[in-house]
Amino acid sequence: MGWTRSQSVKPLGLTQQSFFMGTLLAFGMFGAMASAQLELDAQLGRSQIVSPTKDCPACDLTGAELPGVDLQGANLKEVILKQANLQAADLSQSILNLADLSQANLSDSDQSGAFLWEADLSHANLQQADLTGANLQVADLSEADLRRATLRQTDLTGARLHNADLRGADLRGAFLVGADLTGALYDTNTQLDPSLNPSDLGMVFLP
């Protein structure tokens, strides 16, 4: 039943007024604190900054803790994720051209079909990462840990893999024209196309 004009509202007593004002004050303080926390989280590069749209081009997320985050298809062009924790993250089909992922933890991540043109992945942990079909043209993977990573059909044209660890990695079908593999480590479990000779590429065998 709705209110009618004839109904009157009894004014609040002093005790009720005090309680009501106290409640509003507390709510206002809580809201301000919550807002401040969200802003701090964003500044620190926590997950709220990439939610709900996931797009965050040119954002500075240095050192962000984002393990297992879903960034599939996100626009992260020129993003700074240096030293970030993206273990087991879903970055498939994402746009990471010119991104700074140096020293980032990308182990077990899914980067299949991602665009990483000229991205900086130097010293990154890419153990067991899935980079199938990713575009890594002229990307910097120098001294990156790519042990047991999947790089099938990956475009590594002109990429720098100097001193990268490719032991156990699968590079079958990868495009390696102009790639620098000098000093890159490989072992008996590293899979290359039969037409490629690791020694001719300057790679170093390490059991």
Of 12 and 205, which is predicted with more confidence?
A: 205
CB contact at 8 A, 146 and 123: no
> What is this structure's pTM?
0.76
Structure tokens at 168: 């156990």
Q: Name the CATH superfamily housing domain 54-207.
A: E3 ubiquitin-protein ligase SopA (2.160.20.80)
Helix (H, G, I), strand (E, B) or coil at 26: helix
Q: List, in order, residues 6 or more apart from 89 with CB less than 8 Å away.
A: 66, 67, 68, 69, 70, 71, 106, 109, 110
Q: How far apart, in Å, are the Cα atoms of 93 and each of 85, 122, 133? A: 19, 21, 10
Say which residues have a Cβ less than 8 Å from residue 112's Cβ, sequence separation at least 6: 92, 93, 130, 131, 132, 133, 134
Q: Give me the chain's average pLDDT, please.
A: 83
Query: What is residue 39's predicted lDDT score, i.e. its pLDDT?
Result: 40
pLDDT of 12 > 90? The answer is no
The per-residue pLDDT for range 84-141, each reduced to its tens digit, is 999 999 999 999 999 999 999 999 999 999 999 999 999 999 999 999 999 999 999 9
pLDDT computed for residue 140 by the predictor: 98
- The confidence band for 51, taking pLDDT boundaries of 50, 70 and 90, is very low
Between 159 and 22, the more confident residue is: 159
What is the reported pLDDT for 42?
44
The tokens 């077990």 sit on which residue?
108
